[in-house]
């Protein structure tokens, strides 16, 4: 706007200037013309000549009259010349000069009369006689004063005209001068305006320069690469950081298309498409789209990840793209390292969990033997001292088992693998059964165990009753353990909310309580508060509370501690449960297969020969007819041949596992499709429970299987079915008569000497097989074999052999080969000794 | 009354040219106003250069003299092919002595401002009687 008005001012001033110039030039040209046309001077001269010419004529005529020396024609010529001068006055510029003068006009008739008279005289036929000459002279003399007057008048008018012209000239000069002055003023004004404009332009330039310098330095010093491109995708600017990033210099890359330089080959087509899409209809994906991660190409040909932000700018109708780029190789590298580290940690965690699971399984297998044998031991005749030893050994084994199970639980909870089951349960029944089971434990310490169930907490609820039982067992068990006098009170109630209920069960005791600073500590892993009395074996509670709280929280509930009245401990479990309707159904229906207890055919499906033998012996000891199968396929073949009353089915077996075998039995519609199947597993409590139920197993038992449990399993219809489907608490060891004979003797007493002899000889046969493979066998097979034999040796009481086999297993597992021969020799020696001793012993027993 | 032509370098020396002799030479003509006449007037005659060339008169200057002995000089190099002319006729009529005759040296004053200068006016000699080529 401002610029336009200036432009108009300048153009107007220039126009004015031009107009003045034209006027001046015109005026000057006119002046010049007037100066150069010298007609007035010549006119003055002509008029002046008039007087001279007449003076000459008069003198000539007077001389001719006196001497008549000249010819007549000469006189006539002179007269004609004088007349021609008179004519001047009547024509041309001279006539013009005199036309305005009244004075001149009064002379002209006189002059005309004179001319007429002279012409008449000259033209007389007689020629120029003396009289004619005289008349001519007289006329000429007479007219001369008039001629003189006219001449003077002409000079005067000429002078006056000159004055007028001079005045006009000076006026014109003055006009030209003022025009020039005006011009100078206008030019001066114009100069001022121009100066101001120039100064403003300079200021603007300086500002622009400063800001562009600042921008240039900003761009130059930017840590991010800045690349600008025009609408055709050609580079128009490239800063220092970009040079470093891409390896191109600014001079090299300017004017080159992006898709021939810094865009990786594989993306060039996409780039072109995107650009044309943008230019055609302004459709934008990357442009003005915020931060994007892409890949750039260095001049060296290496690709690298970058973060990019592109803006578009319209400059004079042209589109410019400004890209801000950041090399994120390092970030990507760090990210990848973090991800790798996380993956590694997860892998380690998984490995840890797997290790724990395997370990617990590995520990359970020998425990199976120990507990089985201890149970068998109790059925023999032993004295009180031995009974005490057996009880202590059993209790210790049970604690060990419990700890293994807890460790396994922790692993499972951490990996989120605890499946929660929605089932109907009755809180009143559940607590009552717990009280029943735990009362003997409380009575040992003369403690009262009482439960109060609020009316609100009766009736069917939907939730994981098994898990609730597990938590409460732990809480009550702990309460009994830490309380010396008084009792334990269980209180259950519910509060109702819309659509669900909150079940709250508290277990309070009269024990010493927990100091305030340890109250949260008890919920952490592996914390045992030092309150166990001296010299007394206590149940490890390192993980119990921690597991209980985790389970409670997984069920959207919580487990909290508060101080009970009188200073004892009070743990409260709160859980959301849904209200069910109707009666609680037994978990597993009783198939009534156990009715014919007299002639009971039992099939034991188990791949581990020792465990198969132990279970078989236990069952035979209970007067059942035992059939054996070594895997699922074998089981199906045997089941095809006859109907069994009960099938004990190991879950994990080679060739075909127990789950698959059960499924097939249930579905083939054969002889055993209705047979009671009891699942057995050495794995954790939970892994296979759902699978087993789905496959159609009636019950589910975690190894080691105890004689007591076995008896219960086979005895009545399943009063304890839910108990047996998940391994429950361990009952206090039964007091049984014991004696102090060695392991073989005990076995023989329980199973019969012949049976034991058979087992022992089978053991040594297998050991022979192991030793045959020893020098050449594959490390891990050897280790597995040794492991299996070790368990059997332990069961049969071959302590030295067990030790040797352990050494062998460790050595084989570690891949050590050099001392195998030595180990083999040692094993052979020990085996021979043990075999001889066992033979002697058994011979004695048989006798 | 004829026109006297004197030229030292000329082959014919001194001679007098009659009106007829002048009419026999190549003619030039133009129409112009003059400061001595009223309105535009047609002049015809022989151009001075044609006349001098015809008689191969060569020199530095040419001097022209009127009946009343008024004389002027024109340098040779200022002579143009057709300008000035020695007019023999004005408005198609021969001129008498009483009216600037019989010969009048005229320029086409209207055709160019340069012919309206003092020098040109002074050279416009009437009642021309003699042309003399000076070395």
Tell me if B35 and A95 make a contact (CB, 8 A cut-off).
Answer: no
How far apart (Å, rounded) are the C-alpha atoms in residues A559 and A573? Answer: 5
pLDDT in tens, A417-452: 667 777 788 888 888 888 887 887 888 888 899 999
User: Which pLDDT score is estimated for A359?
Assistant: 74
With a cut of 60, say whether residue A735 has pLDDT above it: no
Q: What band does A488 get if pLDDT is binned at 50, 70 and 90?
A: very high
With a cut of 50, say whether residue A629 has pLDDT above it: yes
Q: Which residue of A has its CA nearest to B36?
A: A92
Tell me if B36 and A88 make a contact (CB, 8 A cut-off).
Answer: yes
User: Which pLDDT score is estimated for A33?
Assistant: 66
Q: Which residue of A has its CA nearest to B117?
A: A37
Using an 8 Å Cβ cutoff, are B49 and B81 in contact? yes
User: Which pLDDT score is estimated for B11?
Assistant: 56
Q: What is the mean pLDDT of residues A781-796?
A: 77
With a cut of 50, say whether residue A590 has pLDDT above it: no
User: Which pLDDT score is estimated for A657?
Assistant: 83
C-alpha pair distances (Å), A700 with each of A410, A628, A679: 21, 19, 4
Q: What is the mean pLDDT of residues A644-673?
A: 84
User: Which residues of chain B are within 8 Å of residue A93 when distances are taken between CB atoms?
Assistant: 35-36
With a cut of 60, say whether residue A528 has pLDDT above it: no
How far apart (Å, rounded) are the C-alpha atoms in residues A220 and A213? Answer: 10
B14 to chain A, closest Cα gap in Å: 22
pLDDT in tens, B118-132: 788 888 888 888 888
More confident residue, A228 or A528: A228
With a cut of 60, say whether residue A279 has pLDDT above it: yes
How far apart (Å, rounded) are the C-alpha atoms in residues A594 and A670? Answer: 19
User: Which pLDDT score is estimated for B12?
Assistant: 57
| A91: contact with B, CB 8 A cutoff | yes
Most confident segment among A271-275, A337-341, A643-647: A337-341
Tell me if B116 and A39 make a contact (CB, 8 A cut-off).
Answer: yes
Q: Where is average pLDDT lowest: A354-363, A523-532, A677-686?
A: A523-532
CATH of A420-579, one of 3.90.1150.10, 3.30.200.20, 3.30.565.10, 3.30.450.20: 3.30.565.10
Q: Which of A33, A41, A46 sits opposite B118 (nearest CB)?
A: A41
Tell me if A37 and B117 make a contact (CB, 8 A cut-off).
Answer: yes
User: Which pLDDT score is estimated for A574?
Assistant: 92
Class at the top of the CATH hierarchy for domain A601-725: alpha beta
Question: Which residues have C-beta within 8 Å of that of residue A79, sequence separation ≥ 6?
Answer: A57, A118, A122, A136
- To the question of domain A743-846 being in CATH 1.20.120, the answer is yes
User: Which residues of chain B are within 8 Å of residue A36 when distances are taken between CB atoms?
Assistant: 113, 116-117
Residue in this structure with the two tokens 């600017």, named with its chain if needed:
A237
User: Which pLDDT score is estimated for A489?
Assistant: 92
| A129: contact with B, CB 8 A cutoff | no
User: Which residues of chain B are within 8 Å of residue A91 when distances are taken between CB atoms?
Assistant: 36-38
Where do the domains of chain B lie, and which CATH numbers do they carry? 3-134 (3.90.420.10)
User: Which pLDDT score is estimated for A251?
Assistant: 92
Q: Which residue of B has its CA nearest to A94?
A: B36
| A115: contact with B, CB 8 A cutoff | no
Closest of A667, A665, A696, A664 to residue A679, by C-alpha = A696
pLDDT in tens, A314-366: 877 788 888 999 989 888 899 999 999 999 988 887 777 777 777 777 777 77
| A530: contact with B, CB 8 A cutoff | no
Tell me if B99 and A87 make a contact (CB, 8 A cut-off).
Answer: yes
pLDDT in tens, B82-112: 888 999 998 888 888 887 878 989 999 888 8
A120 to chain B, closest Cα gap in Å: 13
Q: Which residue of A has its CA nearest to B98?
A: A84
A584 CB-contact burial (10 Å; exposed 0-12 / middle 13-18 / buried 19+): middle
Q: What band does A543 get if pLDDT is binned at 50, 70 and 90?
A: low
Q: What band does A825 get if pLDDT is binned at 50, 70 and 90?
A: confident
Q: What band does A523 get if pLDDT is binned at 50, 70 and 90?
A: confident
Q: What is the mean pLDDT of residues B69-80?
A: 86
User: Which residues of chain B are within 8 Å of residue A95 when distances are taken between CB atoms?
Assistant: 38
User: Which pLDDT score is estimated for A507?
Assistant: 93
Q: What band does A41 get if pLDDT is binned at 50, 70 and 90?
A: low
Q: Where is average pLDDT lowest: A9-18, A64-73, A146-155, A216-225?
A: A9-18
Q: Which of B67, B98, B121 sits opposite A87 (nearest CB)?
A: B98
Q: What is the mean pLDDT of residues A381-388?
A: 87
How far apart (Å, rounded) are the C-alpha atoms in residues A292 and A270? Answer: 15
| A834: contact with B, CB 8 A cutoff | no
Tell me if A36 and B37 make a contact (CB, 8 A cut-off).
Answer: no
User: Which residues of chain B are within 8 Å of residue A81 when distances are taken between CB atoms?
Assistant: 67-68, 97, 127
With a cut of 80, say whether residue A42 has pLDDT above it: no
ipTM: 0.76
More confident residue, B29 or A498: B29
- To the question of domain A222-327 being in CATH 3.40.640.10, the answer is no
- Written as six digits, the tokens of A6 are 């200036």
User: Which pLDDT score is estimated for A723?
Assistant: 36
User: Which residues of chain B are within 8 Å of residue A122 when distances are taken between CB atoms?
Assistant: none
With a cut of 50, say whether residue A531 has pLDDT above it: no
User: Which pLDDT score is estimated for A374?
Assistant: 83
**Length of chain A as a residue count:** 847
Average pLDDT value for chain B: 84
Terminal-residue alpha carbon distance, chain A: 132
Residue in this structure with the two tokens 């809180």, named with its chain if needed:
A427
Residue A794's φ and ψ, nearest 5 degrees, are -65, -40
Using an 8 Å Cβ cutoff, are A511 and A482 in contact? yes
A154 to chain B, closest Cα gap in Å: 15
More confident residue, A364 or A253: A253
Q: Which residue of B has its CA nearest to A77?
A: B97
Q: Where is average pLDDT lowest: A189-203, A708-722, A754-768, A807-821?
A: A708-722
Dihedral of CA atoms A100, A106, A107, A113 in degrees, nearest 10, equals: 120
Q: Which residue of B has its CA nearest to A52?
A: B68
Q: What is the mean pLDDT of residues A254-273?
A: 88
Interface test with B, best of A42, A71, A79 (most B CBs within 10 A): A42
Strands (E), A48-93: none
Average pLDDT value for chain A: 78
């Amino acid at each position: 706007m401002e610029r336009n008005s200036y432009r108009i001012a300048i153009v107007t001033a220039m126009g004015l200037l031009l107009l003045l110039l034209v006027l001046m030039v015109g005026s000057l040209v006119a002046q010049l013309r007037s100066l150069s046309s010298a007609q007035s001077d010549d006119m003055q001269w002509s008029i002046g000549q008039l007087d001279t010419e007449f003076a000459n004529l008069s003198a000539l005529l007077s001389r001719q009259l006196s001497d008549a020396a000249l010819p007549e024609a000469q006189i006539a010529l002179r007269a004609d010349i004088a007349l021609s001068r008179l004519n001047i006055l009547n024509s041309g510029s001279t006539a013009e000069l005199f036309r305005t003068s009244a004075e001149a006009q009064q002379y002209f008739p006189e002059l005309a009369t004179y001319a007429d008279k002279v012409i008449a005289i000259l033209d007389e036929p007689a020629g120029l006689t003396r009289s004619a000459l005289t008349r001519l002279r007289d006329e000429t003399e007479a007219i001369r004063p008039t001629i003189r007057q006219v001449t003077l008048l002409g000079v005067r008018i000429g002078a006056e005209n000159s004055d007028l012209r001079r005045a006009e000239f000076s006026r014109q000069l003055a006009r030209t001068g003022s025009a020039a002055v005006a011009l100078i003023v206008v030019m001066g004004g114009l100069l001022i305006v121009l100066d101001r404009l120039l100064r403003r332009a300079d200021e603007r330039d300086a500002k622009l320069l400063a800001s562009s310098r600042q921008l240039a330095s900003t761009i130059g010093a930017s840590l991010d690469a800045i690349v600008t491109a025009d609408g055709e995708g050609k580079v128009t600017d490239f800063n220092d950081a970009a040079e470093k990033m891409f390896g191109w210099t600014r001079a090299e890359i300017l004017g080159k298309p992006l898709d021939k330089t810094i865009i990786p080959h594989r993306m060039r087509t996409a780039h072109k498409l995107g650009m044309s899409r943008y230019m055609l209809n302004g459709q934008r994906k990357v442009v003005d789209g915020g931060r994007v991660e892409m890949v750039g190409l260095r001049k060296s040909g290496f690709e690298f990840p970058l973060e990019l932000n592109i803006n578009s700018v319209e400059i004079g109708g042209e589109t410019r793209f400004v890209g801000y780029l950041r090399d994120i190789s390092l970030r990507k590298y760090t990210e990848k390292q973090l991800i790798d580290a996380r993956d590694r940690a997860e892998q380690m965690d998984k490995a840890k969990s797997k290790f724990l699971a395997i370990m617990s399984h590995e520990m359970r297998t020998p425990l199976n033997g120990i507990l089985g044998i201890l149970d068998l031991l109790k059925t023999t005749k032993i004295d009180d001292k031995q009974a005490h030893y057996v009880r202590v050994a059993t209790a210790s084994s049970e604690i060990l088992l419990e700890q293994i199970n807890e460790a396994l639980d922790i692993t499972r909870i951490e990996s989120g693998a605890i499946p929660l089951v929605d089932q109907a349960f009755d809180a009143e029944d559940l607590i009552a059964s717990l009280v029943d089971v735990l009362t003997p434990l409380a009575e040992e310490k003369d403690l009262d165990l009482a439960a109060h169930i609020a009316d609100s907490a009766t009736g069917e609820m939907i939730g994981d009753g098994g898990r609730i039982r597990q938590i409460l067992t732990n809480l009550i068990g702990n309460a009994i353990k830490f309380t010396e006098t008084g009792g334990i009170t269980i209180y259950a109630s519910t509060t109702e909310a819309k659509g669900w209920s909150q079940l709250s069960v508290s277990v309070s005791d009269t024990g010493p309580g927990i100091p305030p600073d340890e109250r949260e500590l008890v919920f952490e892993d592996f914390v045992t508060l030092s309150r166990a009395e001296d010299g007394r074996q206590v149940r490890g509670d390192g993980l119990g509370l921690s597991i209980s709280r985790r389970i409670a929280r997984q069920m959207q509930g919580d487990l909290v501690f508060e101080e009970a009245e009188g200073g004892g401990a009070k743990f409260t479990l709160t859980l959301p449960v849904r209200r069910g309707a109707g009666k609680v159904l037994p978990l597993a229906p009783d198939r009534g297969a156990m009715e014919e207890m007299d002639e009971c055919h039992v099939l034991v499906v188990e791949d581990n020969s020792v465990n198969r033998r132990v279970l078989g012996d236990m069952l035979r000891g209970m007067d059942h007819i035992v059939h054996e199968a070594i895997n699922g396929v074998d089981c199906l073949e045997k089941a095809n041949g006859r109907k069994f009353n009960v099938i004990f089915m190991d879950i994990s077996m080679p060739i075909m596992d127990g789950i698959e075998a059960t499924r097939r039995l249930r579905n083939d519609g054969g002889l055993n499709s209705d047979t009671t199947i009891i699942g057995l597993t050495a794995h954790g409590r939970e892994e296979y429970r759902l699978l087993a139920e789905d496959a159609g197993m009636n019950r589910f038992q975690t190894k080691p299987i105890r004689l007591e449990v076995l008896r219960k399993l086979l005895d009545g219809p399943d009063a304890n079915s839910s108990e047996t489907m998940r391994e429950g608490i361990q009952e206090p060891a039964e007091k049984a008569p014991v004696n102090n004979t060695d392991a073989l003797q005990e076995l023989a007493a329980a199973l019969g000497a012949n049976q034991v002899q058979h087992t022992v000889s089978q053991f040594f046969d297998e050991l022979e097989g192991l030793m045959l493979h020893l020098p050449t066998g594959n490390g891990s097979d050897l280790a597995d074999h040794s492991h299996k034999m070790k368990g059997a040796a332990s069961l049969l009481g071959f302590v030295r052999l067990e030790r040797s086999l352990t050494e062998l297993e460790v050595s084989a597992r570690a891949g050590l080969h050099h001392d195998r021969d030595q180990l083999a020799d040692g094993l052979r020696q020990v085996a021979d000794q043990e075999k001889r001793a066992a033979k002697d012993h058994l011979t004695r027993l048989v006798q | 009354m004829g026109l006297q032509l004197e030229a030292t370098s000329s082959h014919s020396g001194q001679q007098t040219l009659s009106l007829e002799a002048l009419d026999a030479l190549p003619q030039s003509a133009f129409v112009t106003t003059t400061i001595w006449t009223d309105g535009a007037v047609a002049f015809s005659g022989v151009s001075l250069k044609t006349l001098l060339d015809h008689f191969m008169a060569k020199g530095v200057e040419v001097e022209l003299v009127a009946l009343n002995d008024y004389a002027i000089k024109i340098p040779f190099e200022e002579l143009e092919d057709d300008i000035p002319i020695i007019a023999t006729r004005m408005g198609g009529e021969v001129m008498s002595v009483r009216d600037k005759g019989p010969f009048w040296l005229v320029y086409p004053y209207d055709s160019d401002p340069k012919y309206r200068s003092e020098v040109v006016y002074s050279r416009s000699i009437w009642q021309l009687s003699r042309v003399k080529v000076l070395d």
